[in-house]
Structure 1
């Protein structure tokens, strides 16, 4: 991934602002950007907006054979993609270092924390289990992708419903949503990632860094925690050494942020459930606020209109009056038909005995070329060739003898 580097002036300005506890968007040190959670028409589709950072999560499921080591447990699979649509720095079909890091952190946050009861995903022990796949797509990158991806993934998992199944002997019947209501997943807790950016070797700390703040930071600390203040994972990157007091301080801040985000997720799930139960409209299209489109109006500039007629007459008088009689253009060129009013219709093409030459054009360059032209006289019976100048031929007036 090739990020656009910052200039020295931008880097110095950002670091100076961070020292004065000021941020580009006017936030305080521990403030998050505005978080917006919306759900799609299908179950398990969720979009999270963290400021200008936007992430889409989609959950799907299918029946697959279980792993040999765990025949009674379902399978959880996470996939995060960075497309050039999100940022020009992302290259398609390439495993960048950032992509690998985000995938590993997402798996540690959700799969290794055992937030989902995988044993409830078993249909037939050793034969069929549910495989839950979570695809996370970054729609727009403006910093702090890990927090947005974790919020979108856990919200989509809470919103997802798998089809109901029935077992009769060795036969497995999968019911459609019209036949039986889908079954939600069994989720124990909701782990959420909170990112902390460090500057000046850990002297300054920021929560939820934007893209430009990430370019000048010295290190990043990501803490995954649930609302019960249980730490699920801790990941540090950037090669910065942190003290124990700094980590404890970050964990206290993360506990407050996680409880606020968890309440926001629960509120969004309740609103979506209520709208679906009432039979109202739901989905991404309905979540867009119906607001009037306002255009940017500029003030009308006052134009001085007095004295316009006098000024126009003065400009017209200064100009030269056109001549009453406009002569017709006469084109005289070799090989050109003269057709026009008051002219004789003739063609200036003449033929000569030795070849076709154009007459009517008296150019000094053409006469000079004709004078310099040499006449070569050859005889088929003899090998000797005599080259004479045209002027010599005119003076003699007879054909030379060999």
Structure 2
């Protein structure tokens, strides 16, 4: 899967792209997942506040949050700052000149800024110590350790978990003097949130109408279009980033949005449960090994999404997506039925007693054979009478027209 430096990135060559398009056309994925099935998410909390490692399959991201006092901006003097920085230096298959992952890091950084800064998920006014003088500057460093596709989702999950796990020290400002308390003097204060955004990534191919969620590196590089949707726990859309050459209609975008909303809500619930377990462990005096090796290795306990949340929510997502697939098939069926020639239906016997004339003298009902003969004779008589009446009406009309014309001429 992973290659050395100065070589092609997986999924960029034409044979690989054709192979991926063929596999997607047959509704098959390389890791055996369904098109609407996501990989397992694992969280590992470090000893320091705001240190979180996230693994989404083989994609691994390490996030660290730090804070410092600084001066506010002139446009917003009573609000703190939130800074985001992405580092892709740990990816092995990218070249040494960094010409490959510079645009990738820029797009990832801009997406994270729109998801967390532009949507104002953190209450920045609570970070103000003294208006126009001192505010807290929160810095989030996102280090990509291994890249196997879907960096957007892994980075947003890691950033949100790190910000929710972070604690800042308490501070007082009196007589133009700042005093920062240690953790022994006063407990650290968590950040205040207005909402909790999480992104979900979909890939769209020209060979298939079914979008693929949580793509791997091969599937992401071979995709024709990529859609990134960010939803919060209230199922409100925060950001939408779509680009590519594959045509996308409203139906597919709405399908991705509905599934992404449920996925984001379940991920936020998972992060909250993981944080509560980490707090219980800290209160019980659990042992925390510091360092990067502890987060990546097996020394620290990893909190799995499938173990904590169970398979109920994933089954619900599968059912909702299957229902939407059935709806799309039902919508597409009438077009096929219109092209087919209409089938001839066999005429069922009709009860003619309500609209055929009946003789008052007859009390007994006729047999079926007699009824059919009498109906045929009556039908012939009615047809002859109708023809005679039509001829008479035509003669009268012609006669009247000729008389009117003669009168006008005279």
Distance apart, 1:9 and its partner CA: 4.4
1:81 pairs with one of 71, 83, 87: 87
Larger fraction in helix? 2
Partner in structure 2 of residue 27 of structure 1: 33
Distance 1:22 1:168, change over 3 A: same
Deviation of 1:189 after TM superposition, in Å, equals: 1.7
* 8 A contact 1:196–1:221 mirrored in 2: yes
Partner of 1:52: 58
Residue 73 (structure 1) shift: 0.3
Paired residue secondary structure (1:73): coil
Q: 1:113 to 1:7 in 2, by over 3 A?
A: closer
CA contact (8 A) 1:54 1:139 kept: yes
Mapped pair 1:66 → 2:59: no
Long gaps (5+) in structure 1: 292-402
Q: Secondary structure at the match of 2:118?
A: coil
Alignment of 1:132 onto 2:131: no
Larger RCO (alpha carbons 8 Å, 6+ apart): 2
2:265 corresponds to which of 238, 259, 264? 259
C-alpha displacement of 1:22: 1.2
Deviation at 1:13, TM superposition (A): 2.9
Structure 2: segments with no counterpart, 5+ residues: 1-5, 301-410
Q: Which residue of 2 aligns with 1:148?
A: 154
**Matched-pair contact (CA < 8 Å) for 2:25–2:207:** no
Partners of 2:45 and 2:295 within 8 A in 1: no
Q: State the partner residue of 2:282.
A: 276
Task: Give, in angstroms, the shift of residue 201 of structure 1.
Answer: 6.7
- Quote the Cα distance in structure 1 between the aligned partners of 2:295 and 2:220: 34
Does the Cα contact within 8 Å between 1:48 and 1:151 map onto a contact in 2? yes
State how far apart, in whole Å, the 2-side matches of 1:124 and 1:286 are.
37
Superposed displacement of residue 156, structure 1: 0.2
- The aligned length equals 290
Paired residues of 2:147 and 2:217 also in contact (CA < 8 A): yes
Answer whether contact 2:22 2:207 (CA < 8 A) is retained: no
Q: CA shift at 1:239, angstroms? A: 4.0
The C-alpha deviation readout for 1:355-398, integer Å capped at 9, x for no partner, is: xxxxxxxxxxxxxxxxxxxxxxxxxxxxxxxxxxxxxxxxxxxx
1:240 Cα deviation after fit? 3.8
**What does residue 187 of structure 1 align with?**
193
Shift of 1:14: 2.1
8 Å contact from structure 2 (residues 11, 219) kept in 1: no
TM-aligned CA distance change 1:149 to 1:91, over 3 Å: farther
Under a length normalisation based on structure 2, what TM-score does the superposition of the two structures give?
Answer: 0.67
- For 1:287-312, what per-residue CA distance to the aligned partner results, in whole angstroms no more than 9, with x for missing partners? 95479xxxxxxxxxxxxxxxxxxxxx
C-alpha contact (below 8 Å) 1:48/1:148 kept by paired residues: yes
Equivalent in 161, 164, 172 of residue 158 of structure 1: 164
Deviation at residue 271 of structure 1 after TM alignment: 1.0
Rounded to whole Å, the distance in 2 between the matches of 1:5 and 1:126 is: 51
1:10 aligns to 2:12 (yes or no)? no
**CA spacing shift, 1:79–1:164, aligned 2, 3 Å:** same
Is it true that 1:101 corresponds to 2:107 in the alignment? yes
The answer as to whether partners of 1:194 and 1:208 remain within 8 angstroms in 2 is yes
1:306-321 matched pairs, under 5 angstroms: none
Equivalent-residue separation in structure 1 for 2:198 and 2:187 (angstroms):
29
Alpha-carbon separation, structure 2, partners of 1:160 and 1:103: 20
Counterpart Cα distance in 1 of 2:140 and 2:13: 38
Alpha-carbon RMSD across the aligned residues, in angstroms, is 2.1
How far, CA to CA, are the matches of 2:37 and 2:11 in structure 1? 26
Instruction: Quote the residue 2:123 is aligned against.
Output: 117
Cα distance change, pair 281–101 in 1 and its aligned pair in 2 (3 A): same
TM-score, normalization by structure 1:
0.68
